[in-house]
Amino acid sequence: MQPLSNEKVTDVGQARLKRWFEPILERPGWRSHLADAQAEQLLAWGLALVEQTAVRTQQLPDEDADPVLEKDSTAVRLIMAGVNDLVGTIGQPPAFDLVDDIMTRVLKNLRWLTNQPLRPDNLRRVSQFNQARDAEDRDAAFQYLLALIQTDAA
């Protein structure tokens, strides 16, 4: 796993990145509904976020860094799984309670990850996703979800 950021990653940071990101990849369910190109984009997003945390905490002792890495990697995993699940609803009979529930979980995990309130343009992106979902445009729907999570996690 090669670091993505410009900041120099120490061996400790690299080991932490590997330790906290690889389990995300090993869990089923983060990409089952995604095309390969979509999975690569989502993977790059998740890797960048966990790497930022690994770099930010690389000077801390493990007992201080591990809770931060656990929180962020858990949030990233849950967001990735939520995006996958939302894409999986495309072309299925409308179960808006399910779609709304998954979207709510994705947005809550974004708040947890960023420690910031959601941005006002999130409602527009959610609406755009729903329109693409209704049109069964998987690519557009995925891109709206990716823009949604990149907006808050940037």
pLDDT digits (tens, 9 = 90+) for 87-128: 999 988 866 688 999 999 999 999 999 998 888 888 899 999
**105 in any annotated domain:** yes
96 located within any domain: yes
Q: Extract the residue ranges of the chain whose pLDDT is less than 70.
A: 1-7, 94-96, 151-154
Residue with tokens 């080991």: 15
Please tell me the distance from the alpha carbon of residue 75 to that of residue 110, in angstroms, as a whole number: 7
Q: Is residue 2 part of a domain?
A: no
Identify whether 61 is part of a domain: yes
4 in a domain, yes or no? no
Q: Structural domain of residue 122, as residue ranges? A: 11-153
Q: What is residue 27's predicted lDDT score, i.e. its pLDDT?
A: 84
* Confidence at residue 7, expressed as pLDDT on a 0 to 100 scale: 61
How many C-beta atoms lie closer than 10 Å to residue 98's C-beta?
13
Measured CA distances, 5 to 9, 13, 136 (Å): 8, 12, 35
Q: How many domains does the chain have?
A: 1
In a domain, 3, yes or no: no
Say if 77 falls within a structural domain. yes
The Cα-based distances of 83 to 6, 48, 60, 66, 135 in angstroms read 27, 16, 32, 25, 18
CA–CA gap between residue 31 and residue 84 (Å, rounded): 6
